[in-house]
């Protein structure tokens, strides 16, 4: 149990993009968030991240739900489809605009590549268009990020910080094609679903910093965060759909869960090898220790690169 989570009040979530079936890397983060929620007597919600219509694959959402069921990862409440909540995101954009926090950016891809500098979480936009007062129509919209230090007290990674201006920069909240930016949608959704705890991959730490900026600007509650190490292949690359990671074989659900439990430092007993998914999950919930990952992270940090 986390000290600050009263039994039953915990609400966690898993938010896949329906751009294809789940792979082992996405199962890992689903499992970590599920175990943390159940261990804390909490609810585990699903959100289908389907705003980027060109990336979405028809019926991939159904396929993902079936894959989760095959791994006995059953969710509470109806999944939230982001595409059904556009008015909420537009309303958040309007509130940011009313605060004078939004501006249009006309930079081309090439201009961005030439002007952005590398940050810890990706390229940092230097604010080229911030003072130009361009009309919003048919342009990307960015949020002005105030100077200063941003902090996250991560349950696994410990204290994290970024310099807002030099390490995060003004980020896109609505794309030129009108699609709502991931950070804005995610910040609005966490509040709308009453999420208290976000457990997701460490590749999203930069996204979390951006989302905390929006949570503050929009006066939204800030969930607790735990970023788990992402699954990498033998050559050290993150498993992802972009890297053509193999879709999960649901016929091997038990073996998949076993592998993910081990990656999460949960050391299931040998007797459970080959057990059914529900049995592995029961063991996982009863023995879940997020701090095992924290210890491992500390060891990694102390050992250095």
Q: What is the largest CA-CA distance in the chain?
A: 65
CB nearer to Zn ion: give 13 or 183: 183
Q: Looking at residues 59 to 118 of the shown chain, list those that interact with Zn ion (rule: CB under 5 A).
A: 105, 107
Residues 152 and 209 sit within 8 Å (Cβ to Cβ)? yes
Nearest distance from residue 139's CB to Zn ion, in Å? 9
Is residue 139 at the binding interface for Zn ion, with CB under 5 A as the rule?
Answer: no
Cα gap 164→186, rounded to integer Å: 19
Nearest distance from residue 258's CB to Zn ion, in Å? 48
Instruction: Using the rule CB under 5 A, give the single segment among 2-10, 127-135, 156-164, 165-173 that binds Zn ion.
Output: 127-135
Cα torsion at 159, 164, 166, 170 (round to 10°)? 140
Task: Among 129, 214, 226, 239, indicate the residue that binds Zn ion (CB under 5 A).
Answer: 129
Does residue 194 come out as left (phi exceeding 0), alpha (psi in the -120 to 50 range) or beta?
Answer: left
CB nearer to Zn ion: give 74 or 117: 117
Q: Give the CA distances from residue 139 to residues 109, 172, 175, in Å, rounded to whole numbers and listed in that order.
A: 13, 10, 7
Instruction: Using the rule CB under 5 A, give the single segment among 79-87, 129-137, 219-227, 229-237 that binds Zn ion.
Output: 129-137
Nearest distance from residue 171's CB to Zn ion, in Å? 12
Q: Would you tell me the crossing angle of helices 253-263 and 24-39 to the nearest 10 degrees? A: 70
| Count of residues engaged in binding Zn ion, rule: CB under 5 A | 4
Residues 286 and 61 sit within 8 Å (Cβ to Cβ)? no
CB nearer to Zn ion: give 107 or 124: 107
Instruction: Using the rule CB under 5 A, give the single segment among 74-82, 123-131, 277-285, 290-298 that binds Zn ion.
Output: 123-131
Nearest distance from residue 104's CB to Zn ion, in Å? 8
Residues 41 and 7 sit within 8 Å (Cβ to Cβ)? yes
Nearest distance from residue 181's CB to Zn ion, in Å? 14
Is residue 128 at the binding interface for Zn ion, with CB under 5 A as the rule?
Answer: yes
Binning the chain into helix, strand and coil, the percentages to the nearest 5 are 40, 20, 40
Nearest distance from residue 132's CB to Zn ion, in Å? 8
Nearest distance from residue 62's CB to Zn ion, in Å? 39
Cα gap 237→221, rounded to integer Å: 34
Instruction: Using the rule CB under 5 A, give the single segment among 49-57, 65-73, 88-96, 126-134 that binds Zn ion.
Output: 126-134
Residue 159's beta-bridge partner residues? 153
Is residue 22 at the binding interface for Zn ion, with CB under 5 A as the rule?
Answer: no
Residues forming contacts to Zn ion in the complex (CB under 5 A) are 105, 107, 128-129
């Amino acid at each position: 149990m986390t000290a600050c989570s009263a039994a039953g009040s915990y609400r966690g979530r898993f938010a896949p993009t329906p751009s294809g079936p789940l792979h082992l890397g996405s199962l890992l983060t689903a499992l970590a968030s599920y175990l943390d929620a159940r261990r804390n007597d909490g609810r585990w919600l699903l959100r289908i991240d389907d705003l980027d219509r060109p990336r979405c694959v028809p019926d991939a959402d159904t396929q993902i739900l079936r894959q989760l069921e095959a791994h006995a990862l059953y969710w509470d409440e109806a999944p939230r489809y982001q595409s059904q909540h556009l008015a909420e995101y537009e309303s958040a954009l309007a509130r940011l605009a009313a605060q004078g926090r939004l501006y249009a950016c006309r930079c081309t891809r090439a201009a961005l590549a030439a002007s952005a500098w590398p940050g810890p979480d990706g390229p940092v936009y230097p604010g080229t268009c911030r003072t130009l007062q361009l009309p919003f129509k048919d342009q990307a919209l960015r949020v002005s990020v105030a100077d200063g230090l941003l902090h996250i007290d991560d349950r696994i990674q410990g204290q994290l910080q970024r310099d807002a201006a030099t390490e995060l920069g003004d980020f896109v909240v609505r794309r030129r094609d009108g699609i709502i930016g991931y950070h804005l949608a995610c910040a609005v959704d966490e509040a709308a679903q009453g999420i208290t705890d976000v457990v997701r991959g460490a590749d999203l730490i930069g996204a979390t910093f951006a989302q905390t900026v929006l949570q503050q600007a929009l006066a939204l509650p800030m969930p607790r965060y735990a970023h788990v190490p992402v699954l990498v292949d033998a050559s050290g690359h993150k498993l992802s759909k972009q890297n053509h990671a193999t879709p999960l074989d649901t016929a091997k659900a038990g073996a998949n869960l076993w592998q993910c439990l081990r990656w999460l430092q949960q050391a299931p007993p040998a007797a459970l090898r080959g057990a059914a998914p529900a049995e592995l999950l029961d063991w996982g919930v009863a023995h879940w220790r997020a701090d095992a990952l924290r210890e491992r992270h500390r060891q990694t940090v102390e050992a250095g690169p």
